[in-house]
Chain A
């Protein structure tokens, strides 16, 4: 029972971290970054590289974020900015980008599934049940990241500007805010978050060049269901992520993999506004 609960919470928090990056990019830039899954994969392989080089595995998290941020900066300049005002084309182009990135990774690392070493092995006893120590740490880190991001967006100047641009870009510009800069920073942070999530996920399962796609789809569905509020995103991640874990554990993992997509599609079909506040 405890195991399932912890699994639910861990899954929900990881989903939240991945989906937050997508949501903030969608809110500020008004596009869906279809390369989001590829950035997650970049972070995952970054973690692989870090341990392969014999570095402290804990370093893989900040390094992954940095890698994601740097690539994100390049992508924003070369692909996203020329397509400002052409959102559907921007989505297509980011999808192509995702393919390009996964091809680079395949060239570099091969197509097979690989396994990364977990920074922390062993289990911890919680309330009479044993649980993987690394999963608990992952949970803690992900929660910290989530809270850190919330602090950034609620407390910092950049966060305030980002929220202003999400609500009314014209008004923000009229107040002298350089919205191009806000868009750029938002994209960079969103990609960094995806990469960080990838690094967190790596020791929990395996890595392969296409691992990011299911995360992208799930994150996208969560964003659609949640509307524009980060709070409803957290709620959606908990409820739908929880459903996924329950179905995987008690029915079949394959069915579980489809749960979020199927549930979200039905919810959106019946209630197009999703969970978002009116």
Chain B
């Protein structure tokens, strides 16, 4: 992964326009449009089955869009394959099957970088955030605890020095202390490297703690948007309640 050259402040990190996609005959995402500015953190909220992961997979190139366009830092990415999109500065922190269970922690990190020099630089930054990894490089990733695995996912994404991070339900099942640590890392990345983020979440408190703006996805469409300010939590809770 070449070090991402930071785009000019003008080009938004992500532009999605009239996106539609799905599986087989069904359409899960119907007409989604939104923009994430350079260095901006946007929270995408919504209940299960509303299409959040499908949207992420479409943006990342795993699912071909039926309609619409995807532009990453000014580059047209609609229909590109996932490895090309990743090499263009997009890092994915998946919700499921997110690490190589049978590989060591070190090997999981190595796969995030193109060569071993970048690996050494990257891994030292990881140690600054999560010092405990320094002792655990030889450990099989599948034997880490749930929280440690999630930190591995974030650390790996950070190592890729992306312009845009798409983070899918990272807080699921985590202790508050671990959530705080991750929040700190994400904020730091945004401040230092201007990394933009799409934070897909069901944990509203966590999302609002770090996001600049929020959007609610309901049945494959953006139902409501807003800036993160007082009163946001209440309107969101209405959308997500049982």
Contacts and interface: CB of A to CB of B under 8 A. Distances in A.
A170 interface: yes
Contact of A168 (B86, B97, B160): B97
Given A160-B111, A172-B111, A178 B100 contact: no
Interface string A212-247: 000000000000000000000000000000000000
A167 interface: yes
Interface of B: 1, 60, 62, 81-83, 86-87, 92, 94, 97-103, 107, 110-112, 114-115, 156, 160
Given A163-B103, A164-B103, A164-B111, A175 B86 contact: yes
A175 B160 contact: yes
24 contacts: A160-B103, A160-B111, A164-B111, A167-B100, A167-B101, A171-B94, A171-B97, A171-B98, A172-B111, A173-B82, A173-B83, A174-B60, A174-B82, A174-B83, A174-B92, A174-B94, A175-B83, A175-B111, A175-B112, A175-B156, A176-B1, A176-B83, A176-B114, A176-B160
Query: Which A-B residue pairs are the 7 nearest by beta carbons?
Result: A176-B86, A173-B82, A176-B87, A173-B83, A174-B92, A176-B1, A174-B82
A196 B87 CA distance: 36
A168 B101 CA distance: 10
Nearest to B166: A174
Contact of B83 (A167, A168, A177): A177
Given A168-B100, A171-B98, A177 B81 contact: no
A32 to B, nearest CB: 23
Given A173-B82, A174-B83, A175-B86, 6 more contacts: A160-B103, A167-B103, A168-B100, A171-B98, A172-B111, A176-B114
Contacts, number: 55
Interface residues of A, number: 17
Contacts of B87: 176
B94 A177 contact: no
A167 B100 CA distance: 7
Contacts of B114: 176
B93 to A, nearest CB: 10
Contacts of B62: 170, 173-174
Contacts of B1: 176
B111 A173 contact: no
Contacts of A178: 83
